Amino acid sequence: MCGPVGEEVRAVFERYGLHAVTIGRVTAEPLVRARAGDQPVCAVSGGALADDAPRYVLPAAPPADLEARRSEDLEPLAAEAPARETLLDLLASANIRSRKPVWRRYDHMNGTNTVVGPGAGDAAVLRIKGTSRAIAVALDGPGRLGALDPGLAAAAAVIESAANVVCSGARPIGITNCLNLGAPESPAGYWTLSETVAGLGEACRALDVPVVSGNVSLYNETPDGAIVPAALVGMIGLIEDRSRVLPMAWTDGDEIWLLGDPAAEPAALAASELAWRRGRFGGRPSLDLEAAARTLSLVETLAGAGLALGAHDLAAGGLGVALARMAIASGCGAVVALPRDGARWPTAALHGERAGRILVFSRDGAGLAAAARDAGVPALRLGTARSGELEIEAGGARLTWSLGELAAAWQQPL
């Protein structure tokens, strides 16, 4: 930390009662030199510590039973007629229900910088004092998906965490990660590790977002074997004008649009919360990274142009849970009709899960549709926010829920 910039950094540390000193400087010389006092103790090529470092590559092969798990037939579940009880059951599930019993025990207003707190948006939003800016932060991981495709699971973690900050009105600018895996010495273990790292990299390149830090936790095993591969991604996004933070609560009369792949197919139920609750743990998931990146970029464009007044991403529980969450948050229902091309697989259309899909609401549907066409992103007008109940038409069935029963299911104690 040399010069004026170094002094500014040091001042920030001192303000928080922390100690900071200069320990080195960047030079044009391609050597890393270290001294202890006046004595040189190290002079090594920078390349030897990075690009030219030796690689530790082990034999890799997918688990022997992977293909059998991927071939599980999810068509009967996807074709089921939607039921009121299914949405209520999903909202009350341990993986979806409200985390208020957790976050209410912690001081999420520490520093008085919180603009959007827990439960009010897809990401936490914190102001940057002295500026009009704010940062949005989110942590995400798709859990069981790693058992079917660890590379796709890692990529989905990046996309879902990016979607969270985008839905708050932010531009993703960097990630940190925690990769939790089993022992890498076996062919299946090393394959899982290499696939996870590759998927993480592919998604970050698709979004043009750097990995600024992270860690890998290996040897997470029990006598029954390794844990399900779990890639967790923390995303940070930048909001230039925090007065334009996007909420997830619509108002009466707002048009509700689905951006991205409708995912009305059996594959969207692979490793989904609904499939898990029905005792199904197979299937062949998929994710189009380039399409997901276009969708997230479109949301940024819509927010900047005032065409999206709010947003919420589709994650666990799919479209049905996302609509219910927004209705609960806004205290306002909606009338929604799923597209007819999803009639063959209505339960997949309502509860399928695939990263990179966003619900937005707007008062300018024509402008929104035009922007989506220009961006090459599918955009479906699902319905309109309306005071009263949440009403969803899917697969020829018209289902309704009161906001009270939706909230009661979602607010079940942990």
pLDDT in tens, the chain (414 residues): 555 667 888 888 998 899 888 888 889 998 999 999 889 999 999 888 888 888 888 999 999 999 999 999 999 999 999 999 999 999 999 999 998 888 888 877 777 888 887 777 888 999 988 899 999 999 999 889 999 999 999 999 999 999 999 999 999 999 999 999 999 999 999 999 999 999 999 999 999 999 999 999 999 999 989 999 999 999 999 999 988 899 999 999 999 999 998 889 999 999 999 999 999 989 999 999 999 999 999 999 999 899 999 999 999 999 999 999 999 999 999 999 987 766 789 999 999 999 999 999 999 999 999 999 999 999 999 999 999 999 999 988 899 999 999 999 999 888
Beta bridge mates, 89: none
Alpha helices (H) along 306-364:
318-330, 346-351
Q: At what angle do helices 84-92 and 318-330 cross, to 10 degrees?
A: 70
DSSP structure class, residue 55: P
Tell how far CA 334 is from the center of its chain. 25
DSSP structure class, residue 229: P
- Cα 313 to Cα 164, 221, 295, 316, 410: the distances in Å are 7, 32, 11, 10, 17
Domains and CATH numbers, the chain: 3-49 (no CATH), 74-98+247-414 (3.90.650.10), 122-245 (3.30.1330.10)
3-state secondary structure of 82: coil
DSSP structure class, residue 404: H
Cβ–Cβ under 8 Å, residues 53 and 33:
no
Beta bridge mates, 396: none
User: Is residue 102 classed exposed, middle or buried when 0-12, 13-18 and 19+ CB atoms within 10 A define those classes?
Assistant: exposed
3-state secondary structure of 43: strand
Question: Token pair for residue 396?
Answer: 């020829």
In this structure, the strands spanning 124-127 and 31-36 are: unpaired
